Structure 1
Amino acid sequence: MLVDAENKKEGKPMGNTFARWYDVFMSPLEKGRFRSVRKSLAKKADGLVLEIGSGTGINFPYYESAEQVIAIEPSRHMMNRSEERKRKSAVPIQVIQESAEQLPFADNTFDTVVATLVFCTIPHPERALREIKRVCKPGGRILVFEHVRMENPFLAKWQDWLTPYWKKVCDGCCLNRDTVHMMIESGLKVVSKQSLYKGLFVQMDVRNEGA
């Protein structure tokens, strides 16, 4: 299951400046509703867990039932900043420098996949979803917390307008990505969906129904 961390990666890894300020920038949100959402998702993650884009390890303290967490993260700077949270975790966690579009794992490996605030920055999200579906066991659970394109047409147009500028400031983050639609199109089943902040964010419980 281990891979060479020096393998060529897809996309542009996050820079050191963005990684250094990420937790500071997100702190007001993480102290509020985000924390409860992350806790509820991580608590449901059991068996062998794959976390996509673990960043600074913000989810690591909340895992309780997992046998082990294998986390992938393309940015070495983000990985370095997750070390303390990884050491303090109640469950074993291994972080691997890799991209979501080409996962170095065998088919049907993971019981649970966790993805939080990551699909907005994956360069090729459709490819990443195909890979997640491949490595997740049939019937496996995919736990998702993402910001998405809003259903309100006026607000969605504002997202479209802001996205080119937002991507430059936030290291490639797309405000207007329709992640829910992409998941359904990939063949995954959305079991439950909760909209937060007037539909800007969604929390989802998704199942991999297999090929």
Structure 2
Amino acid sequence: MSDPSKQSVIRTYDRYAPIYDSLFGPIQRAGCVRMAESVAALEPGHILEVGIGTGLTLSMYPERAKVNGIDISPVMLRQAQQRAAGLPSRDIRLAIMDAEQLEFDDNTFDCVAVPYVLSVTPNPDKLVAEIRRVCRPDGHIFIVNHFSGGKLWSLPERLLRSVADKIGFRSNFDYDHHILRHDWTVLSTTPVRLFGLYRLVIIRNG
């Protein structure tokens, strides 16, 4: 299976944008809500969401928090900007940006939220390095993602590999390799959807 390229990811999500909420919202909402609630419980001052998409989580973050949201898809980001416009009292700043080359200084954010992004970025290790760089020491990183299941899911994952690049999705995504091997502290891992295939992972940086 080839990894998704940056251009294939942009094309895919630009194409999905008009129907993204109706197509993927029912699948992703549970994870986004759980993630946003977990972020809000910490009462952070400054939040970064990587892959803000259409802005589904914007209204769920604390009102007093400063929120930066980035996405690589201009069409998706335009929808997020419309949602942000409906929250005029919030400090929300949105930008087109490559998550593997973040345009923020080191140690900028109290929390970094990464919903459904890690398995669609071309280089997950590079994204991880970037979110750790911009998250302050002992800050928190929240990852919601698909992780490969056991024998029950091995056949569907194999079938998806042939079209993964076209849909911008890496079907075989190993939890141990992409989460446990890094020298950060995993605080919790909670299933959020589809028999545990999607999980919310809460991490302390540093």
Superposition TM-score, scaled by structure 1 size: 0.83
Cα deviation for residue 38 of structure 1 reads 4.2
Q: Cα–Cα, structure 1 residues 207 and 34, in superposed 2: closer, same or farther, change >3 Å? A: closer
Superposed counterparts of 1:148-187, under 5 Å = 148-150=147-149, 152-168=150-166, 170=167, 172-179=168-175, 181-187=177-183
Q: Which amino acid aligns with 2:38?
A: L
Alignment partner, residue 81 of structure 2: 83
Paired residues in the alignment total 196
Q: Which amino acid aligns with 2:66?
A: Q
Root-mean-square deviation over aligned CA pairs: 2.2
Q: Cα–Cα, structure 1 residues 41 and 65, in superposed 2: closer, same or farther, change >3 Å? A: farther
Q: Cα–Cα, structure 1 residues 128 and 153, in superposed 2: closer, same or farther, change >3 Å? A: same
Superposed counterparts of 1:30-49, under 5 Å = 33-34=30-31, 36-44=33-41, 46-49=44-47
Q: Cα–Cα, structure 1 residues 208 and 38, in superposed 2: closer, same or farther, change >3 Å? A: closer
Cα deviation for residue 193 of structure 1 reads 0.6
Cα deviation for residue 173 of structure 1 reads 1.3
Structure 1 Cα separation of the partners of residues 6 and 41 of structure 2: 30
Superposed counterparts of 1:14-163, under 5 Å = 14-15=11-12, 16-29=14-27, 33-34=30-31, 36-44=33-41, 46-64=44-62, 67-89=65-87, 91-150=90-149, 152-163=150-161
1:199 paired with 2:196, answer yes
Structure 2 Cα separation of the partners of residues 26 and 94 of structure 1: 24
Q: Cα–Cα, structure 1 residues 163 and 14, in superposed 2: closer, same or farther, change >3 Å? A: same
Q: Cα–Cα, structure 1 residues 165 and 185, in superposed 2: closer, same or farther, change >3 Å? A: same
Report the 3-state secondary structure (helix = DSSP H, G, I; strand = E; otherwise coil) of the residue aligned with 1:173.
coil
For structure 1, the 5+ residue unaligned runs are 1-9
Structure 1 segments, 4+ long, off by >6 Å, are none
Structure 1 Cα separation of the partners of residues 121 and 64 of structure 2: 25
> In the alignment, is the contact (CA less than 8 A) between 2:186 and 2:201 conserved in 1?
yes
For structure 2, the 5+ residue unaligned runs are none
